[in-house]
Chain A
Amino acid sequence: MTIRHSLRLTALSAALTAGLTAPSWAQEDMVTRSRVGPADAPNSMSFRLTAFDLYAQDPKTRATFEALYLDMLKQFPGWKIDTQLQTNDIGQEQARMLEQARAGRGPDCAMIDSSSLGAYRAAGVLQPMNASFSKAEIDDLFPFVRKAVTDDQGNLLAYWWFTDLRVLYRDTRVVPEAPQTWAQAQAAGLASAKAGYEGLLFSGGRWEGTALDWLGNFWASGGDLVDAEGAPVFGLGENRAAFITALSYYADLVTSGASPARVASITNYDDFLAAAAAGSTAMFVGGSWQYEQLRGTLAPEDFAAWEVSELPGPSADAGATGAGGWTIGAMSDDPEKVKLCAAIAKLYAGPGNVAQGLLPTATAYYKASDVFSTPTNLAYSKFLEHGRPRPGVAIYPEIANQIEIAIGAVLSGGDPAEATDRAQQAAQSAYERL
């Protein structure tokens, strides 16, 4: 049986069994709010996860993952998983977990946001998972992913199980052609504003999404955030010019009227869905995963009109997009727990991604399931050629913080050059102290 078949079968059987037997599990109490597996299992591993899968609000997703977990646990008789949820306040949650891990009180295994991975690596709290992943599996990871999760000795420090990217969403009834350049995006935004819409929406408030969504523009302009040593250099030399150009793009969108001023207060991807559902916008910069949410939110005939395209760049041939996603890493030095942790990572990377329609990080998975060969997903995998992850350095969260501040400043009329220099200076002094 090929990987392709086994993956599909696992997902299918999980979905089926979920539908059929969910009530009986509840009785057996194999999956509770804080545990997966038998309550009396002699061994337990703690695992900190987000609320999007096993504990999702959506009952179908939840049931699918309950089945996948229990299926996986069959390979680990005598084990249970003590689950701990983290909030959506990713930055704070990740910092707090790091503090716990450093004190030796962190979870045995955890979901770590790809942007925080650098801090965890720097703190030396991650245990290699080489025993559970072959060299071929590691080599098959997208290059930007592999670089982030392996160290100089080739150790796999965490498994980056899905990625995402930022794309431009548009209502083709209002904006028929996908804008490829900033100038076209601005023109399209203005045209939609004239037609009574809000214009091009994007995140501009104080939260991580603002930085990540914008970074594609900076990278497409030829900028780099950090140098080879991991020191912030985004406001120096040629990077400075790129930073100013990309900041000016956002500022011009608002001053020209192509984007509403309220973008400076957007701190949530939900706002885009709400605006699309309310019919108040025809264009927004959103996350790749929002396509499926849009399907669930809009009426079918409206949804059919929406399309995704690559983020516009300074010119048609220069494009880049910020790639995010989550990793799973082990922080216990018990080899059995590391193995269980790796098994969880594989669960998410394989059937988990199939069930949720998230973008895998290795080419083998794309070949393995039809789910990933929809037109949208094929387009995404092509856009990912221009995908760039956030640098895996401990200073990144502070850099992102400074980017958010700089964007907020220019959106309310601040000078881009001045905002750039302030951000560089603040990031540099924070870097020196870290």
Chain B
Amino acid sequence: MSRAADPSRAGPWLWLGPALLVLGAIYLWPLLDAVRLAFTDATLLRAPTRVSLDAFAAVLSDPALPGILRVTGIFTAASVILLQALGLGIALLVHRGDRRGLPGMAALRALVLAAWVVPGIANGVIWQIVFSEAPFGGLNAVLAVVGLGPVAWLSDPALAMLSAIIANIWQGTAFSMILYYAALKGLDPALQEAAKVDGASALDRFALVTLPQLKGTILAGSVLVTIQTLGTFDSILALTGGGPGQATEVLSLYTYNTVFRGFDLSRGAVLALLLAALSLAAAALYALILRERR
């Protein structure tokens, strides 16, 4: 083959072409169109008639928005913290089990991973069955056996939020767990040994040796999990529909309701952009922290 025919001579663009083309057509173009729609008065019922900032004004003056953002904030923050903590905890336990050669560790890892691949809609349906408050319903029926409950899992606003978070962690923990598990495997055991020789307690070794080495993973995991959580809505849609009232109506579900129930395309576009902005802000924050560290 002659050098002239070598495609890499044409620079990187031939290699990047397919990916950029698909992303441009499926993401960039519609994204620009969403931005355009945000500056119109388009609804699902008719085409846009004029250019305006009304949709932005409507979103900003929407009395429901603060509540939606609060719910989104609580859901996201609690999910991220719990997902990360639980993921790290399980990874540490499994890692310890591995080192000690305890049986059953692979099975446990597999179990956690199984929840991860459950489709979001099915996740909502499953937990709706579990949290059913009918006297013969799932978890409450089990609690009743030991004399507890009944717990208002889905009808009490605060508990409904907790239930939505639990459903989310059930599905999402696997991702954090794999990240930490791999990171733990990659750690230099010599450092641990050195600390042991120095007489550091197990807790000290974790706080002073293990944790600092995991910093990068924690940051990367946090941003990915934050973005995933912000976009979560199919499981909540199936679990509570956003209720009771608006107790579990996160921004992505609110956007979906605005477009598909309120038919308000332009306001939906503004909300969708707000969602994208929040995700980008989380990512930017991450990039900033990463740069500081270097």
Name A's B-contacting residues (CB within 8 A): 91-92, 95-96, 98-99, 102, 119, 122-123, 198, 204-207, 260-265, 267, 271, 274-275, 278, 280, 394, 397-398, 401, 404-409, 411-412, 414, 422, 425-426, 429-430, 433-434
Contact = CB atoms under 8 A, between A and B. Distances in A.
A264 B262 contact: no
Contacts of B262: 397-398, 401, 430, 434
Given A265-B243, A434-B264, A271 B63 contact: no
Contacts of B247: 408, 412
A96 B41 CA distance: 19
Contacts of A123: 45-46
A69 B155 CA distance: 44
Contacts of B249: 206
Among A271, A278, A425, A434, residue most surrounded by chain B Cβ atoms (within 10 Å): A434
Given A205-B243, A264-B154, A278-B136, 17 more contacts: A92-B261, A96-B260, A98-B45, A206-B245, A263-B155, A264-B155, A264-B156, A265-B155, A275-B134, A280-B134, A398-B263, A401-B261, A405-B245, A412-B244, A412-B247, A433-B58, A434-B43
Interface in B130-170: 131, 133-136, 152-157, 160
Contacts of A260: 133
A316 to B, nearest CB: 31
A267 B135 CA distance: 16
A425 B157 CA distance: 22
B263 A434 contact: yes
Interface in B7-26: none
B261 A264 contact: no
A119 B261 contact: no
B45 A265 contact: no
A91 B257 CA distance: 10
A92 B134 contact: no
B290 to A, nearest CB: 40
A207 B257 CA distance: 11
B44 interface: yes
A56 B136 CA distance: 28
Contacts of B46: 102, 123
Q: Specify the main secondary structure of chain A where it touches its partner.
A: helix
Interface in B46-77: 46, 54-55, 58, 61-64
Contact of B54 (A122, A207, A404, A433): A433
A264 B244 contact: yes
14 contacts: A98-B263, A102-B46, A119-B263, A205-B154, A205-B243, A206-B242, A264-B154, A264-B243, A265-B155, A278-B136, A401-B261, A422-B64, A433-B55, A434-B45
Among B157, B259, B261, B264, residue most surrounded by chain A Cβ atoms (within 10 Å): B261
A425 B260 contact: no
A411 B154 CA distance: 12
Contacts of A98: 44-45, 263
B240 interface: yes
Contacts of B243: 205-206, 264-265, 267, 404-405, 408
A275 B133 CA distance: 11
Contacts of A262: 133-134, 152, 154-155
A206 B45 CA distance: 24
A397 B244 contact: no
Contacts of A429: 58, 61-62
B267 A433 contact: yes
A430 B134 contact: no
Contacts of B44: 95, 98-99, 102
A401 B257 contact: yes
Contacts of A95: 44, 259-261, 263
B241 A397 contact: no
Interface in B102-148: 131, 133-136
B217 interface: no
Interface string B30-41: 000000000001
Among B243, B244, B262, residue most surrounded by chain A Cβ atoms (within 10 Å): B244
B246 interface: yes
Contacts of B63: 422, 425-426
Contacts of A99: 44
Contacts of B259: 95
A122 B240 CA distance: 31
B155 A261 contact: yes
Nearest to B133: A262
Contacts of A198: 135
Given A433-B58, A433-B264, A265 B160 contact: yes
A201 to B, nearest CB: 9
Given A261-B152, A271-B134, A397-B262, A409 B245 contact: yes
B246 A265 contact: no
Contact of B155 (A411, A414, A422): A411
Contact of A278 (B58, B64, B135): B135
Contacts of A264: 154-156, 243-244
Contacts of B257: 401
Given A123-B46, A204-B244, A429-B58, A412 B260 contact: no
Contacts of B155: 204, 261-265, 411-412
B30 to A, nearest CB: 15
Contacts of B153: 265
